[in-house]
Structures are given as structure tokens and as C-alpha cells.
Chain A
Amino acid sequence: MESFATIVSILYQFATNGAFLLLSALGLIVILGMMNIINLAHGELMMMGAYTASIAWHRGVPFWLCAILAFVVVALFGALLERTVVRRFYGRELGALVVTWGISLILSQGALMVFGPFLPAIPIPGGSIALGQYSFSVYWLIVIALACALIAGLWSLYNYTTFGLQARAAMQNPAMATALGVDTGRVYTLTFSLGAGLAGFSGALFAPTVSIAPFMGQQFVAPAFITVVVGGATNVITGAVGSSLLLSLVKTPVGFVFGAFVGTVALLLAALVIIRLMPDGVSAVLQRLVDRRNRFA
């Protein structure tokens, strides 16, 4: 019984870290994979999501509705951002990096000036369940389940809907997609909006577990970007899943023994080693495996 509880506890730690990395990076990786744009304002979009959730929650809105509201609000903001600014930087990836960084500075400092140094916290919903000597937070178990559900949802969105088909076409060959009548501009706006919305949703989900402050986005920058770098841009969904699991494998034991900060440093070192071994990320390696199997099948 004891050893069973220990195994469950280790798995729980591993899944928690994996879900954290996956949710931090998901919005970023959707935008990168589909549009080849790195959104450095990602952390600030998560901050916006958390702010929306906090404001709504303290007006009496139930938490799950707050999270959905955060998705909608940040997705709308993302669409606006794409229409006005990001649109001009397609094909200039370094320019896009710099301009989104400028936006992130404006957003975080703007939040500080409008809302002050912090917003009231949200208590963690749900209690905890005990197993042996360990106890597990129900909230995190739900977050882990939600992360899996989001991946499944994205997978079906890209594989079974017209939007997904058009998005993949626009990604592979924009000129040909346009020639076949796909409105690539609209696809890009929707993709950016989806990525932003996912960032806002994750921000709302993490809101009960962190302090809600203008510069809270910074703490997600390191894990999110490392996950994206390791995942690569070849295949969005396999990359996101593969890299968050791989990195969780590094972070869980190191963080357990040496603390959270060393855990994050270990992430950076692991990322350096991994990109030395597979420069295009985990997704490229997985894609190659799949291709090879399909050829022999």
C-alpha cells in the first residue's frame, strides 16, 4: 500500500509539472507552429487572463465561467493585436519578436498603472484527497485532466474541421492555399486569436496558485519558452506533448531534491543539451519516426 501511494505521488508530481509546462506553452506553440511568429507578449496575455478571472471571480462569477471568460476576453484582444500590429511582421520573425516584446512591456506596465501592484487572490477551488501518507489537490488533478482534454480538442480541431484543414494548408503553402480560395489572412487572425485565448485560459487556471500581479507573466516566460524550444515547430501537438513530458522528466526529480529554482535551471541546461542533439526539437524527431513507420506500413 505504502509503495503504491509513493508511486502515485511520483506520477502526480510528474503529471503536475507536465501539465504546468504544457499549459504555459500551449498558446505560444499554436501561434509558432502555424504562423512562425514568436509571441513574446505571451506571459502578459496569461497575466490578462488571470486579471480577467480575478476581477470576475470577485464579482461573484463561478470559477469555471471565469476561466472561459478569460479565454474569450484574451482571444478578442489577440485578434485585435493581430489585425493592428502582428500582421505586418509575417516573414520577419526577428522583427515580430522585437515588436511583441514592446507590446509585453506596455501591457505589464499598463496593468501596474491601471490596477496597482496586485489584485486580490483567488482561493484554490476543490479540496484534497488523501492516499496513504500523501495528499493530492483535487484542483491540480482537474487541471491535469483539462490539459489532456485541451490537447484532444486541439487535435480534433486541426484534423476534423474545415478550419483545421485550412490552417494546415495555410501553414504548409500559403500561396497555394490562397490560390485555392482559403482566406489566409482570416486563418492567421483566428490562429493568433486562438493562441492568445489559450494563453488567457491557462493564466486563469494558474491564477489560484500564484500571486496575481502585473509582472506575474515573467515567471511563465522561462518554462514556456524552454518547452517551445524543445518542442520545435514541425508538428504543434506532438511537439507540445513530447517536450512537456520530456522536460517534466527532468524537472520533477531535480526540483524535488534541490528546489524549484534549480529545477528551472535544470530545464535550461536540459534544453541546451536537447537542442544540441535534436536542433529542430522533439516534434521533428517524432515526425520522422511516424514518417518512417508509414513508409514501411
Chain B
Amino acid sequence: MSHLLKLLTGPEDIGRSRWFWAVFVAVCTLLFVYPYWLSEFEATNNAYYLLNVPIALGLALLWGYCGILSFGQVAYFGIAGYVYGIVAGNMTGNAFGPLVGSLCGLAVCAIAAAMFGYFVFYGRVQNWIVPILTLVLSLLLETFLGQTAGYQWRIGTVQLGGYNGMTGIPSFQIGRFVITGYSFYYYVLIIVVVAYLAMRILVNSQYGKVMLAIREDPIRTELLGYDIRARRLVVFVLAAISAGVSGLLYVQWGNYITPSQVGLLQASLPVIWVAVGGRESLLAVLLSTCALNWLNYTLSSEGYQYALIIIGVLLVVVMLFFPDGIIVTLARDVPSRGWRALVGLHKGKSG
């Protein structure tokens, strides 16, 4: 236990002072208490802002900590969502159908990512090939799912539904307890907090150090005796599973999924969440993902046509002026002693 705590407060994220953890615990407590003042509808909306955090954290792990960029995380999001819909939809009435569906969704994600990653990482391709092939994969998946209208695309009792997507996907339930409304908010919140803490432990562990080493200098890491192919593959699969978790939460939240969830617009979103926050900090990614999802939700009710332009401009501006991410830059460069004590970052490169 003390070993885990030590890893949790290790150097590889912003925020490691005592003050930070006090604020962290206070915010978590607040998040647990505050649905008391919300309607069930608002609580469900708040769950939506949170449910994309796992896919973003997975991409931060992959891109920021391991130096592998993927544009196709939404493919695993979609795979998990669709598999859950098919399995749980065919087991309606069974109290453990959704649980089995979730496990199947994540398993298929992991297998798909492992197969794809085997060719890419064991082929030792150059850096720029992974993002392109992952993007191609998700575009092809969108095209495939888009043409699955009609009765020949029925699996058991579930219609894939072409461009209209799959509807009537069951909510999550354990035994007789169906998780919707307030309970869904808590379910998402717990998953997000656990995912964040687990990843923070991971990046500060021995395994995480090797990940960072691969990012900094793959050849040197390999000469030190680490099998970088296998390490990269494992991180890739972990990121895919994280994306799958978000996909599961999404279909359990809205009870539907459409092929556009794996399309180009959606594919760009995780990249922007991670780039805006700062890819080398899990905390920054967590915050920016929640904030941008809230923004997107608010904007989409008004000018949806501007959404792509806003995202594009944000991407260009962030990459030009904040290459390390807005939140990370703020955390590093605000010249106040109190602030520095809070984030626990020293000027210059950390640990």
C-alpha cells in the first residue's frame, strides 16, 4: 500500500505537493456530494462530460508518455460500443447480460489492437506510419458500419442499422440493479477516478520509466536490453482498452451508437483534448477533456456547423503557440510561489 502511494506521488505528472492532494481529495468529495443539488437530467449530462476521460487518458499514455501517436482511438471506442450492443442486446432479460457484453467489448478491443499492433510494432515501422494507419483503420470501419443497413446485417436479434446506427442498446446493470440517472453519474465518476489513479501509478512505476525511455530514445532503450516492440504493443493495447471503456460508457449513457462515432470528426476529438491539455500530463488531459466536452456540448446545441472549424483552429493555435499544451504551460510558467507549491513542479525538466 505504501509502495503504491509512493508511486502515486512520483514525479511523472503535475501536482505532487501535499497541497495538491488536499485539493484533489476536496474536489473528488465535492464531485461525489454535488449531485444532491442537481436534477437527474443534469447529473446525466455531467456524466457525459466525464465519460470521455478514459479514451483521452489512454491517448495521453500512448502519445505523451510513450511517443506513439494514434488518430484511430475512436475505432476501439466504436468496436467496444458495437460489440456491447450486439452481446447485451442479444441477452436482454438476463441480469448479467450487460456485464458479459462489457467484458466481450473490451476483449474484442484488446484482440483487435493486439493484432493491428503486432504488424505495426513488430515491423518496426517509422514513427509517422502509426497515426496514418490508425486513421485509415477508423475511416474504413466507418465506411463498413455505414453500409450495414438492411436485414442481412442482423446479428441475433440486433440490427447494425447502417448510418442510422444501432438503437435500443441496454443500460448497464449488475444483477437487478439498473445503472441510470444518478447511479450512472457515480458509476462514471468512480471509473474515471480509478482510471486516473491507476494510470498515474503506471507511469511512475518501473514499466512507466521504460515507456518514457522509449519515448526519449528507442534505440538506447533497446540496447539496455528492453524489448521495445513488446512494450509498445502493451501500451497500445492498454490505450485501446481505455478507448473501449469510453465506448462502453457512451453506449450505456445514450443507448445508441452511429458509425459517425468512428468518423473523422470524432477521431480528431481525442487528439485535441490531449493536445490542448498537454500530452505529458495525465492531470492536464483529464481537466481539458472535461472542459472541452462541456464546451462542445454547449456549442453543439447552437452552431454545430462551426464545430469542425473551432476544433481545427484550436488544433493549429495550440500546436503553434502551446506545443506542450495550454494547461501544462500554465502549470509550468505561472511565476507565483504559491502556485508552484500547489502543482509541485520545478522550473525545467522534471525528475
Contacts and interface: CB of A to CB of B under 8 A. Distances in A.
**Are A and B associated in one complex?**
yes
Nearest to B264: A218
B311 A102 contact: yes
A280 B305 CA distance: 40
B106 interface: no
A102 B125 contact: no
A210 interface: no
B323 interface: yes
B71 A261 contact: no
A38 B128 contact: yes
Interface string B128-148: 110111011101100110010
B116 interface: yes
Given A221-B135, A221-B136, A221-B139, A99 B122 contact: no
B-side interface mostly? helix
B315 interface: yes
A200 to B, nearest CB: 20
B240 to A, nearest CB: 16
A24 interface: no
Interface in A48-100: 85, 88-89, 92-95, 97-99
A271 interface: yes
Contacts of B135: 40, 221, 225
A275 B119 contact: yes
B139 to A, nearest CB: 6
A40 B139 CA distance: 14
Nearest to B307: A109
A83 B165 CA distance: 43
A106 B143 contact: no
Contacts of A228: 132
B22 interface: no
A179 interface: no
A116 to B, nearest CB: 12
Interface in B258-283: 264-265, 268, 271, 275
B128 A94 contact: yes
Contact of B312 (A89, A105, A218, A275): A105
A174 interface: no
Interface residues of A, number: 45
B271 A109 contact: no
A10 interface: no
Nearest to A261: B143
Nearest to B147: A261
B69 interface: yes
B140 A265 contact: yes
Contacts of B125: 229, 275, 279
Nearest to B315: A102
A38 to B, nearest CB: 5
Contact of A261 (B144, B308, B323): B144
A140 B2 CA distance: 70
A54 to B, nearest CB: 22
A113 interface: yes
A222 B316 contact: no
Given A38-B128, A99-B316, A105-B268, A271 B133 contact: yes
Contacts of A272: 116, 119-120, 133
A89 B315 CA distance: 14
A111 to B, nearest CB: 11
A152 interface: no
B140 A106 contact: no
Contacts of B29: none
A222 B264 CA distance: 12
A277 B139 CA distance: 24
Given A101-B268, A268-B137, A93 B128 contact: yes
Contacts of B199: none
A98 B129 CA distance: 13
7 contacts: A98-B69, A99-B320, A104-B312, A105-B312, A218-B139, A225-B136, A268-B137
Given A38-B132, A98-B319, A275-B129, 16 more contacts: A92-B323, A94-B69, A95-B319, A95-B323, A101-B271, A104-B312, A105-B265, A106-B309, A218-B264, A221-B135, A221-B136, A261-B147, A268-B140, A275-B119, A275-B120, A275-B125
Please name the 4 residue pairs, one residue from A and one from B, whose CB atoms are nearest each other, closest first: A102-B315, A105-B312, A106-B312, A109-B308
